[in-house]
A and B are shown apart, each in its own frame.
Chain A
Amino acid sequence: MYHYTDFDAAFLKERNAQFRAQVERRIDGSLTEDEFKPLRLMNGLYLQLHAYMLRVAIPYGTLNSAQMDTLAMIADKWDKGYGHFTTRQNIQYNWPELRDVPDMLDALGAVNMHAIQTSGNTIRNVTADHFAGAAADEVADPRPIAELIRQWSTDHPEFQFLPRKFKVAVSGASADRAVIKAHDIGLQIVEQDGEIGYKVIIGGGLGRTPMIGKVLYDFVKSEDLLPALEAIVSVYNLLGRRDNKYKARIKITVHENGIEDIRARVDARYKLIRPQFTGVDQQMLSRIEADFAVPQFKTATEAPYHHARQHDPLFKSWSDTNLTEHRAPGYAIVSISLKAHGKTPGDASSSQMRIMAGLAKRYGHDELRISHEQNVILPHVHKSDLPSVYAALKAAGLGTANIGLISDIIACPGMDYCALATARSIPIAQEIATHFDALKLEHEVGPLKIKISGCINACGHHHVGHIGILGLDRAGVENYQIMLGGDGTEDAQIGERAGPGFSADEIIPAVERIVMAYLDLRSDPSETFLQAYRRLGLAPFKAALYPQKQASAA
């Protein structure tokens, strides 16, 4: 875990004092609402449908038990006793009062946390693979470079008023669990001739115009990375469109100018910037890497784990779905589902946060992660402790065995909270989960990612869902479009639109028809939904989805 330096702590204290003053100046009229808006956004404060919303950064999704306990305390003291974990590894509080926000930020600051640059047209919270430092397939831990990028992007004087928001994600493994190809900049740690470097991908994004990122550089050395990033964002700051916010993201800049033109501009800019970086940043990176040293793993018998699997069918089911292979012998990565059937995806109560913090402290080397799929991870748990961990989770309503299954749904807040939404997302996710749970089909269906957005801005990543659902407003009535075959991994793919949308009443049966078609069509139970879709294409699923059209055409 990264430990704040004196510099980091002093910076944060000063920044919070500045924001406290800005809030006062807004209240006394020195700042107009239009002027205050970008300032509050730089500190994570949104104005939503019903109230302000504070979005707190969880840099690269990593936190310790004291930080999780503080998130719980804030939920109790200044909100309604819960928080919402987001697809960008943040936590959102939906009901703060403006005058309380400076106090909330000070409470966060006490445990080295902040809400800086979680909104606004600036470089946002840097995200990373939630299995970082634990995954068996890793080239290198992505968190040290993500922390260096956090420091570089924080309060960067050139980049606080970009044409639009700017998101960076880092993966250190061959499998992409951070959706790096759907980010403004995606970085993949790669090894070339024994040297660690970065593949730099730019111009990915979802939203109104989904685009898969393009490779700008195949290999950038570690010491060249910050000047390269600075060159990219500088070029974007001048070239990105400011006449239309829907065309302002770098994906459009790259699309309109072409990757070759962008590369030439970035190269020219890089030449000017590179001499500024004299290696001090690399010394800082070394110190950060030391902070992320591998924990002292223990050796113990795995007997309790195997015993529980033999004798407790619920534990067996949970361990089948919610565990991932760890790099250390005897250890497992635990995914705690925040997708209990019928509950709001990504929500956790303050008491659940405290339970998870306690488990991390007792069994998990004091580490927790937030995944972009809106679940919580205990990255380092010895298998002998898994029965105890599961028992505690189950008692707190956190023992749902559904990671990667049909009810492990990503859903944006939708019309229940968001001012931009055109339809509800959360109730649709809840209904899908409870419906397939009642049918007892979830485990039979196997790996299937459903992602739901309540408007075309695509916060619910519907373009990269195996089944993506987009909620729109058609003449005042909610209408849900279905996309099929999307994929947010290293094989990233934008889903295909299946056809006309469905009403809120029709969408659950529509999803059921797709799933039933898959069960009929798969070559054998080991062929996943996505594999079957790739083999067969849209047509047979479309036929199942719109049976009446088939009939009238025949």
Chain B
Amino acid sequence: MARQPRERRRVQTIRKTDMTQLINDTGFVTDDWTHGFCAAGAANDCRALDLAPDADPQKIDLNTTLEMIRIDFPSSADGRGFTIARALRLRGFTGRLRARGHILADQYAMARRAGFNEVEVNDDVAARQPAAQWQYRADWKAHDYQSRLRGTAS
């Protein structure tokens, strides 16, 4: 009996549908990026880079052709992507940062505060968590201790 929930969780984490939903501060939007993504270590004319959750943000080559970095979240309980995003911003990356994978509406504000511009979730997550639940956290600039401590609150 006790084993059942664990089995169910594993299935949920691994299953990925092909279709995804892009989400930003305006709600559910159509993905306008049409140039594809390359893996880390690919040719240095890469325009959009896909990063694994165990990527070392100090070692990413932030060359000038890089317009977008997409970071994978294998599970909503795995918060490495938030630190990777912030490290890339602190290193000076000003391009588009996208979180992709199993992310919850409740994590949207965290993602934005960590430096992400947008979130790409699987359709099954988007179906269970409709646009209104994401928009509820689009006020991510409000009630933010970090910007208050840094004197950057708007």
Q: Do A and B assemble together?
A: yes
A: which residues have CB within 8 A of B? 7, 10-11, 14-15, 18, 21-22, 25, 29-35, 38-39, 121, 151-152, 154-162, 226, 234, 237-238, 242, 268-269, 272-273, 276-281, 284
B77 to A: closest C-beta gap in Å: 6
Distance between Cα atoms of A42 and B18 in the complex (Å): 31
Report chain A residues within 8 Å CB of B58: 268
How far is A305 from B90 in the complex, measured between Cα atoms in Å?
60
How many Å lie between the Cα of A129 and that of B62 in the bound state?
46
Distance in Å: Cβ of A41 to nearest Cβ of chain B = 10
In the complex the two chains form, is A156's CB within 8 Å of B90's CB?
no
Do A158 and B76 touch (CB < 8 A)? Answer: no
Q: In the complex, A310→B83 CA distance in Å?
A: 63
User: If A30-B133, A237-B80 touch, does A152 touch B90 (CB 8 Å cutoff)?
Assistant: no
Beyond the given A18-B137, A268-B58, could you list 17 further A-B residue pairs with CB under 8 A, ordered by the A residue number?
A7-B143, A18-B136, A30-B129, A30-B130, A35-B76, A151-B145, A156-B145, A157-B86, A157-B113, A161-B77, A161-B79, A237-B82, A238-B56, A273-B90, A276-B90, A280-B151, A281-B149
Chain A residue at minimum C-beta to C-beta distance from B82: A158
B130 surroundings in chain A (CB, below 8 A): 30
Given the interface pairs A10-B143, A278-B150, A280-B149, the reply to whether A272 lies near B90 with Cβ below 8 Å is yes
**A157 contacts B5, CB within 8 Å?**
no
Query: Does B80 contact A238, Cβ atoms closer than 8 Å?
Result: yes
Cα(A157)–Cα(B141), bound, Å = 12
Q: Is the pair A34, B9 in contact by a Cβ cutoff of 8 Å?
A: yes
Instruction: Identify the stretch in B23-31, B42-50, B103-111 within 8 Å (CB) of chain A at 4 or more residues.
Output: B103-111
Q: Per-residue 0/1 for B117-140: is the Cβ within 8 Å of any A Cβ (1 yes, 0 no)?
A: 000000000001110010011000
Segment 6-43 of B: residues with Cβ below 8 Å from A: 8-9, 12
Which of chain B's residues has its CB closest to A29's CB?
Answer: B128
Q: Are A14 and B143 in contact (CB under 8 A)?
A: yes
- Which chain B residues numbered 53 to 70 have a C-beta less than 8 Å away from chain A? 54, 56-58
> Tally of A-B residue pairs with Cβ under 8 A?
113
CA distance A158 to B133 in the complex (A): 21
Q: Is B146 an interface residue (CB 8 A)?
A: yes
Smallest beta-carbon distance B22→chain A, Å? 20
Contacts of B83 in A (CB 8 A): 158, 234, 237-238
Q: A21-B136, A273-B90 are in contact. Are A158 and B79 (CB under 8 A)?
A: yes
Contact yes or no, B109 A157, CB < 8 A: yes
Closest CB of chain B to A322's CB: distance in Å?
38
Q: Could you tell me if A151 and B149 are in contact, using CB atoms closer than 8 angstroms?
A: yes
Residues of B within 8 A of A281 (CB): 149-150
Across-interface contacts of B82 in A (CB, < 8 A)? 157-161, 237
B139 to chain A, nearest CB (A): 9
Expressed in whole angstroms, the Cα–Cα distance for A159 and B54 within the complex equals: 16
Q: In chain B between 69 and 123, which residues have their CB closer than 8 angstroms to a CB of chain A?
A: 76-80, 82-84, 86-87, 90-91, 104, 106-107, 109-111, 113-114
Q: A30-B133, A33-B5 are in contact. Are A157 and B110 (CB under 8 A)?
A: yes
Which of A157, A269, A272, A277: most chain B CB closer than 10 A?
A157
- Chain B residue contacts of A273, Cβ below 8 A: 90
The chain A residue with its CB closest to the CB of B139 is: A14
Assembled-state Cα–Cα distance A29/B127 (Å): 11
Which residues does chain B contribute within 8 Å of A277, judged by CB atoms? Answer: 149-150
State in angstroms the CA–CA spacing of A157 and B151 once bound together.
17
Cα distance A212–B106 in the bound complex, in angstroms: 36
